[in-house]
Structure 1
Amino acid sequence: MYSAADTRYDSMPYRRCGKSGLKLPAISFGLWHNFGHDTPHATKREMCHTAFDLGITHFDLANNYGPPPGSAEVAFGEILQSDFKPYRDEMIISSKAGYDMWSGPYGEWGSRKYLIASCDQSLKRMGLDYVDIFYSHRFDPETPLEETMMALDHIVRSGRALYVGISSYNAQRTREAHAILKELGTPCLIHQPSYNMLNRWVETDGLKDTLKELGIGSIAFVPLAQGLLTNKYLNGIPEGSRASQDKSLHPSVVQKAIESVKKLNDMAQARGQTLAQMAIAWVLRDGGITSALIGASKPSQIVDCVGAINNLEFTPEELAAIDAISEEKSINLWARSSE
């Protein structure tokens, strides 16, 4: 029987999420990869235990996480029931809908029908009465934004979620979504964009400043560029990695960035950090991002990432050096979904 560590709240910083009453851990745990049928259930349990024991209270999912789609929520629901049931009120659990989930014209994007049906399916898979946060996973260019936001408002008012958010919306669409939700009386709590040293569209688009202006919290996914900003690729593309399988990380992206990554690793070592720790610290560096959303394939990676909280400060010289090294700052694999 799992018993959470008594020290779980001793070290992790918790940051207020925009202009809300909710605080999130500086580091959150995402179940996008490595939580489907291709990962042993015992490993999934151990990763969740490790995360929670280190003060990670936020677990982030989506309807299509797996593989296959839905399997991550099923697995997490089993772990909730077997291990985390006494701790439910200490946890922030989120899910999303927007990408292809089931056959036919109602199984993706941003319609009211899809979002509400998907939320119901997610709750059933996880065995929950509600999620803490429910997101529109991507902007739908063909559905009126009012319809998508009204669906989110209904999901809150019907008790299916406590808060709502959006993911990968650009600055303009974020302003529009925020205004609609504000008028409806269900504030936009949080935005989840991709953001890391090699992917800075939130800066060039103005999204980061927009979120601060509007009082919306933020949680950055892929702060490690899907493993690129770790020691995994320092000597090329290893067998079995995402890049070797062309699994959401194209080999050409790795080849283009590898020299920059090596130089960044040297900087991290000079700071007394691993590359992963420095990459996470950089995302969290100025308080503009509420939480960094990490993934993992084994518990030791979570431990390493959480070590980032021990040094979140950068000198102006270090930041300038990172800017000079990171020549691939325009990489954004999710550009289309933010339009």
Structure 2
Amino acid sequence: MQRRKLGRSEIEISTVGLGCWQFSEGFGLTGGFWEALPAETVQEIIDASLRGGINWFDTAEIYGRGRSERALAGALTRLGKKPGDVVVATKWWPFPRGASSIRDTIGARLECLSPFPIDLHQIHQPFALTTVAAQANAMADLVQAGKIRTVGVSNYNARRMRAAHATLARRGIPLVSNQMQYSLLDRRIESNGVLAACKELGITLIAYSPLAQGLLSGKFHEDPSLIQKSPGPRKYLPSFRASGLARSLPLIEELRKIAAAHGATPSQVALNWLANFHGDTVVVIPGATKRRHAEENVGSTGFTLSPDELRRIDELSRPFL
């Protein structure tokens, strides 16, 4: 699998990573979005990801209050991986906290991920009881203390991202990433200045929810009864209602057509487009709750979309800019 530099750092990451929110063991407000997965299933998902060429994993403090981090570290250890073999990203939860919490919680983050270091530490969302500058400086302190390797943000608009970038630059540290919701059914980062700022500043855009909660697989269009059987609140989102399904159907039909031409799936085509349409700027972190999901994720890199296919997908997904 192709690898790219993580922002302006020396870290190389695969174009597809693995999002680990689903490893929360069903704990807490955010963990309840997913059914608890057995440890054996978690290990199978990570094993399939590694075998397919994925070399990095994204988790967070709030994903089960450390349970996802521990599940990831435990599975990697059982699979024989050692520190330095993979790239690990996690996130600090800001609200209702101040910047000092970044320093105060780093020990817990390192303990949950032990023996693996934190290669990328991210500010999970923009709302905190402190300023962007104070948070960026606290992250810079951790880099200089050798506690983390690089700094990223998540859910930051262009203005906040530029502010964090400027603060870190004054410390001689790059802002390497911004993790944003981005898929063919949510292309707002292309129209609100975030993607343009990432390209300008050399910041990697990490696309989370790149399959729009599974909508881009086409399975919910094919069988809408699956929606009510899905765990968590996704079934209540407008995009899952009858009108939302009708709006996205032309795109789904085109993804199916292109997938058939490549011996791929609609999900793989959607991931391939995201990771390649904007050059080297975007990487994707789909999740997986089964081994076959992980195998499908890595298969998204096994073919090349033609310029015409890239254009057709672009045109049909433009209503979601």
TM score, norm. by length of structure 1: 0.83
Q: Is the aligned partner of 1:297 residue 2:289?
A: yes
1:249 Cα shift?
5.5
Question: Bigger shift: 39-48 or 76-85?
Answer: 76-85
Partner Cα separation in structure 2 for residue 128 and residue 253 of structure 1: 41
**Identity rate of aligned residues, in percent?**
27
Partner Cα separation in structure 2 for residue 299 and residue 191 of structure 1: 28
Residues 242 and 196 of structure 1, relative CA distance in 2, 3 Å threshold: farther
Partner Cα separation in structure 2 for residue 293 and residue 59 of structure 1: 8
Alpha-carbon deviations, 1:203-226, whole Å to 9, x = none? 011111111111112221111112
Partner Cα separation in structure 2 for residue 223 and residue 198 of structure 1: 9
**Which residue of the partner structure matches residue 10 of structure 2?**
21
Q: Is the aligned partner of 1:90 residue 2:85?
A: yes
**Which residue of the partner structure matches residue 270 of structure 2?**
279
Mapping 1:1-339, distance limit 5 Å: 12-36=1-25, 38-66=36-64, 69-85=65-81, 87-98=82-93, 108-109=95-96, 111-128=98-115, 130-140=117-127, 142-239=129-226, 244-248=230-234, 250-255=236-241, 256-259=243-246, 260-261=248-249, 262-272=252-262, 273-286=264-277, 287-315=279-307, 317-326=308-317, 329-330=320-321
Could you tell me which amino acid in structure 1 is paired with residue 276 of structure 2? Answer: R
Confirm or deny: 8 A CA contact 2:83 2:115 kept in the other structure.
no
1:79 Cα shift?
1.9
Alignment RMSD (CA, Å)? 2.3
Confirm or deny: 8 A CA contact 2:133 2:163 kept in the other structure.
no
1:30 Cα shift?
1.0
Q: List 4+ stretches of structure 1 deviating above 6 A.
A: none
1:173 Cα shift?
1.0
1:34 Cα shift?
4.4
Partner Cα separation in structure 1 for residue 174 and residue 44 of structure 2: 35
More helix by share: 2
1:318 Cα shift?
3.2
1:248 Cα shift?
4.5
**Which residue of the partner structure matches residue 29 of structure 2?**
none
* Matched position secondary structure for 2:89: strand
Confirm or deny: 8 A CA contact 1:110 1:140 kept in the other structure.
no
Unmatched tracts of structure 1, length 5 or more: 1-11, 100-107, 331-339
* Matched position secondary structure for 1:47: helix
Partner Cα separation in structure 2 for residue 263 and residue 149 of structure 1: 44
Partner Cα separation in structure 2 for residue 280 and residue 109 of structure 1: 34
TM score, norm. by length of structure 2: 0.87
